[in-house]
Structure 1
Amino acid sequence: MDVTSNSSVAGFGGATGQSQTQTQNDASMITSDFETFLTMLTAQLENQDPLNPVESTDYAVQLATFSGVEQQVQTNDLLKDLAGQLGVMGMADLASWVGKEARVAAPVHFDGSPIELNAKPPAAADLAYLVVTDSTGAVVSRTSVPVSDEPITWAGVDEDGDPLPEGVYKFELETYGNGVHISTDTMESYARVAEIQTEGSSMYLVLEGGARVDADDITALRDPV
């Protein structure tokens, strides 16, 4: 039942002569204060046309409808409060992660020290390359690596063996099988957690270097080595 257009509900008997705008305002009041609805229902009973009274079944429908609206409003408020409490609890739980190193598939800040990389090449792969790009998206290194799930240590040098400058780099594993490209996947690596953030019901970690990742994407956590 449409509470804004049905004359017997939203207009409360028509005989009151209220405008459509007033009806909409009344509906808004009812959703926020069920007691207001009861007062208005009483007024409807007192002012209805005695020659064309509202059926008792219509009153029952009105009461049930507005009661349902009231309950829904209260439920939404309770869920909103609960979500806020869970967000605070989640942030408190993740606060201990700050300063630790999280393993995640995301760009990593390179400070001159070797970086440990982890990947899971497809079973059909027989050839793999480590592709390294800088913060501008430029490829700074592309080297052949073993087709294995064993960790790979990146020394921080380009294809000529020259040291690369400090900065944020992205690492991808490019795999092939029988000469056909299979996939290009971001490799996992460890990065220090600098900050915890919330956005709605989601929790995010800000890593050293500025990368922002979903807390659910973290696959491992360790103390700094």
Structure 2
Amino acid sequence: PAHFSGTSIDIAISMPESTERAELVVKNEAGSVIFRKLISNDTKEYNWQGEDTAGEIAESGTYQFFVETFKKDASQGETEMAAYQKVKEVQFEEGQYSIIFSGGLVADPKTISAVRD
């Protein structure tokens, strides 16, 4: 998940080679789909600007990103994608580190799977 508060979010995309069709799916904290977009099978990254399906800017909040793949028009399921945001700061309080992202999300470093420039 990533926190959106007006700053775009980079999403790393991966899918099986056998995918015939793929859609990027964005869900809000309640699990409701707020954005769905057809993407090409060779898409490796998508920069989500915070838009919803109606073209409006989504509310500030935490969102999850999935790719739903299809074969012969049948869904093969959704896979959660990794989202990247800039690190604003790292804090050390009461013997614990916390990572604060530009969107305001606070994360335990143990939940971070990658850091990139």
Q: Which residue of 1 aligns with 2:11?
A: 117
1:214 equivalent among 105, 110, 114: 110
Which whole-Å CA distance do the structure 2 matches of 1:196 and 1:118 have between them?
Answer: 29
TM-score of the superposed pair, with normalisation by structure 2? 0.76
Deviations 1:5-29 (A, max 9, x none): xxxxxxxxxxxxxxxxxxxxxxxxx
Unaligned runs of 5+ in 1: 1-106, 198-202
Which whole-Å CA distance do the structure 2 matches of 1:111 and 1:144 have between them?
Answer: 24
Which whole-Å CA distance do the structure 2 matches of 1:153 and 1:126 have between them?
Answer: 22
Q: How many residues align?
A: 110
Larger Rg: 1
Unaligned runs of 5+ in 2: none
Which is strand-richer, 1 or 2? 2
Cα distance change of structure 1 residues 138 and 151 upon mapping to structure 2, 3 Å threshold: same
1:85-96 correspondence to structure 2 within 5 Å: none
Runs of 4+ in 1 over 6 A off after TM superposition: none
Which is helix-richer, 1 or 2? 1
Q: Which residue of 1 aligns with 2:24?
A: 130
Cα distance change of structure 1 residues 180 and 195 upon mapping to structure 2, 3 Å threshold: farther
Cα distance change of structure 1 residues 207 and 134 upon mapping to structure 2, 3 Å threshold: farther
Greater RCO (CA < 8 Å, at least 6 residues apart): 2
RMSD: 2.6
Which whole-Å CA distance do the structure 1 matches of 2:34 and 2:28 have between them?
Answer: 7
TM-score of the superposed pair, with normalisation by structure 1? 0.43
Q: Which residue of 2 aligns with 1:152?
A: 46
**Identity value in percent:** 24
